[in-house]
Structure 1
Amino acid sequence: MSQKRNIFEEVGEQSASKPAPKGGMIDQGRGGARRGIRAWLMVLFAMVVVMVVVGGLTRLTDSGLSITEWRPVTGAIPPLNEADWQSEFDKYKQIDQWAIDNQWMTLEDFKFIYWWEWGHRQIGRVIGLVWAVGFFGFLAARKIPVGWTGRLAFIGGLGGLQGAVGWWMVASGVTSGEGVTTVASYRLATHLGLAFVILGFIAWYVMLLGREERELMQARRQKEARLFGLSTGWLHLAFLQILLGALVAGIDAGRSFTDWPWMQDQFFPPEAFDITPVWRNFFENAGLVQFIHRMVGYVLLAFSVMAFVKGRKSAHAATRAAFTAAFIAVIAQIVLGIYTVVTAAPWNIAIVHQVFAILVFALILRARFLAAHPIVASLRG
């Protein structure tokens, strides 16, 4: 005769004997060292920011042409004795910048600008090393989440391209007998623009890795398409203004017209099209370049007000806060830009203005991310 069994005991026994249910395809996206990769990307982001700042200081100290050769490997070793230093100084004496602007320099003066450029290039090498160690380390350990290998490799590819663009920029100023004493402003803008592209992709990946795939998939269903499109335009307009700022910096146009809101007591700068052919004025005429930078700044301000008003109507508190933060940053950057102009762009103010551009770019990108992947709060929350 079978023994009478307790129904609660049966349930307990069955639940203990059955294996735990396996997650579906969504849960597989959690695989890999998401937190570790995110931390690694955050380190890379910080290093690229430092690279941009040091690059700006290198330009402000007119140090960018002190190293006249591109040696990706052997260039990591600085001059080790006086003979090496003299050799580097002799190479510098062969270019127009020394012949036209810096014949007063002694070897000690040259060392000052050399160390700035060497440090800038060295940071680039360290960034490449940190990327390679992290990427191949996670790859060898099979800790990269599904679908992320290409993204992380893409970051490394952009870094390699940036190194080549950096030399392409420097090469435009390493001339002899052509009367060129600085790098081409449009190449400087390309170099800085690519740095912001790299920062943008890293920041986007950091934000994606900060949330689980299941949560991201649910968030995409709540995507606010209009806000996403608006923030995309906002981001592109801010990026354009950053490129124009690089053109201004490349020819020191910020020190040419130091009154605001006028330019030498008039709305449109004098002699705006004096350079021939005409197209060169858009890159080399200080008055016209600064004028365009100012006008786009006003357009950015108007667009930012619209984005702020629309963003405040979001159904999600985090998204509203993100649009507000980005708007405040834009206002602060515009005020700082005006102050930079009226003070004739001293190096410390100019570099803060550049750092704030990174902040503005990152905050607009965050607003865009939250428009696409809103954080859905419960009614109780």
Structure 2
Amino acid sequence: MALRRWMLASIVAVFVAVAVGGITRLTESGLSITEWKPVSGALPPSGDAAWALELEKFRQIPQASATHAGITMAQFKWIYWWEWFHRNVARTVGLVFAIPWLMFMVQRRIPRSLQLRLTALPLLTLGQGALGWYMVKSGLVERISVSAYRLTAHLGLALGILAVAVWTYSELRERSAEERSEPVRTSRQWRLALVSTATLLGVTVLSGGFVAGLRGGKIFNEFPLMGGQVVPPGYATLTPWWSNAFENPAAAQFHHRLLALTVTAFVLTLAWRARQAALPQAVRRAVMAFGAVITVQLVVGITTLLLAVPVPLGVLHQFTGVLALTAALIATQRAQV
């Protein structure tokens, strides 16, 4: 089905954008382009004079004299190309959502029940671009990095776009004859358990946004304790108390760990119980796949932490986190049938 292929292409596009965004963040490349030019910015600088101007603009922001002190032209080009590539991937994602949507709407191939939802996708992608620039702006004047709040909001909107695409893709799948004839239906308890677990996983992934924004993965590179304690030193040093969760790197990492361990325990419990539970085969397979992905995610997360977030593992951790959320959404959607 054409709509399903479109959703699959959209899911792949979001995955690529998230992975490239992770590389851009981990290589400290995100502030290398100090202007937002949605159309003309698709072209890179041409000639030595243009490159010199871009470097001069970059040297005016606080990060240039801190994180990138003494940067050379060759080093600047390296980080510039990553951010340029990130922005063009984002533009491509927008086209992947917008062009098929326009074509399907003109051809009246989108069912009425899906029109509002699928119309939201290109609009949300446009909003994601604006939110990305709003995030970048936070690191251009007084800060040497972007706001953790805005970074997490940028990640959250990407996950929201992905959720709509994944849910729709799962809804549009063609059910096999075996599934259509299967009398077993998912119980209300299982549906509630999967919705709750998927929601908790979403919160966990977003908490990782604050860890990333605060550079929280660079401290307490040990497991399972933090600084030799269960609750890390410096956990509640900020006032008001609630700001620690969003502005204190130690607290952000502690919360992310706690949430990750909790959601992993929930998912593995569901996977264990699904083996013998009265569930449709499609739901059982989806829950088991969810359990496998969350296990990989936990192992990758702990390894990434112990090694102080090397770029390849940091990107892999972000990628598998999004993959786990995708598995959660598919399992939850299939349980609704």
| TM-score bucket of the superposed structures, by smaller chain | over 0.9
1:325 deviates by 1.3
Contact 2:132/2:154 (<8 A) preserved = yes
Equivalent of 2:201 in 216, 230, 238: 238
Q: Which amino acid aligns with 1:369?
A: Q
1:135 deviates by 1.2
Equivalent of 1:317 in 274, 278, 281: 281
Structure 1 regions of 5+ residues with no counterpart? 1-34, 374-381
Q: Which amino acid aligns with 1:372?
A: Q
Counterparts in 2 of 1:309 and 1:65: CA distance versus 1, 3 Å:
same
Aligned-residue identity in percent: 37
2:227 matched to which residue of 1? 264
1:112 matched to which residue of 2? 78
1:122 aligns with 2:88: yes
Counterparts in 2 of 1:227 and 1:221: CA distance versus 1, 3 Å:
same
Task: Name the CA distance, whole Å, in 2 between partners of 1:115 and 1:256.
Answer: 29
Equivalences, count: 335
Task: Name the CA distance, whole Å, in 2 between partners of 1:42 and 1:195.
Answer: 15
1:161 matched to which residue of 2? 127
Q: Which amino acid aligns with 2:283?
A: T
TM-score by length of 2: 0.93
Contact 1:340/1:349 (<8 A) preserved = yes
Q: Which amino acid aligns with 1:264?
A: G
Task: Name the CA distance, whole Å, in 2 between partners of 1:268 and 1:284.
Answer: 16
Instruction: Give the 5 Å matches for 1:139-158.
Output: 139-158=105-124
2:304 matched to which residue of 1? 340
2:327 matched to which residue of 1? 363
1:226 aligns with 2:192: no
1:277 deviates by 5.0
Task: Name the CA distance, whole Å, in 2 between partners of 1:219 and 1:121.
Answer: 46
1:97 aligns with 2:60: no
Counterparts in 2 of 1:366 and 1:69: CA distance versus 1, 3 Å:
same
Q: Deviations over 1:161-210 (max 9, x none)?
A: 111111111111111xx3x1111112111111111111111011111111
Q: SS of 1:147's equivalent?
A: helix
Q: Which amino acid aligns with 2:75?
A: D
Contact 1:189/1:247 (<8 A) preserved = yes
Q: SS of 1:148's equivalent?
A: helix
Contact 1:162/1:195 (<8 A) preserved = yes
Segment drifting more, 83-92 vs 54-63? 83-92
Counterparts in 2 of 1:361 and 1:123: CA distance versus 1, 3 Å:
same
1:286 aligns with 2:249: yes
1:46 aligns with 2:12: yes
Task: Name the CA distance, whole Å, in 2 between partners of 1:303 and 1:71.
Answer: 45
1:276 deviates by 4.8
Task: Name the CA distance, whole Å, in 1 between partners of 2:215 and 2:250.
Answer: 10
1:341 deviates by 1.2
Contact 2:235/2:248 (<8 A) preserved = yes
Q: Which amino acid aligns with 1:137?
A: M
Contact 1:239/1:361 (<8 A) preserved = yes
Alpha-carbon RMSD: 2.2
1:296 deviates by 1.1
Counterparts in 2 of 1:165 and 1:217: CA distance versus 1, 3 Å:
farther
1:376 matched to which residue of 2? none
Task: Name the CA distance, whole Å, in 2 between partners of 1:324 and 1:268.
Answer: 32
Task: Name the CA distance, whole Å, in 1 between partners of 2:234 and 2:313.
Answer: 28
1:354 matched to which residue of 2? 318
1:223 deviates by 4.7
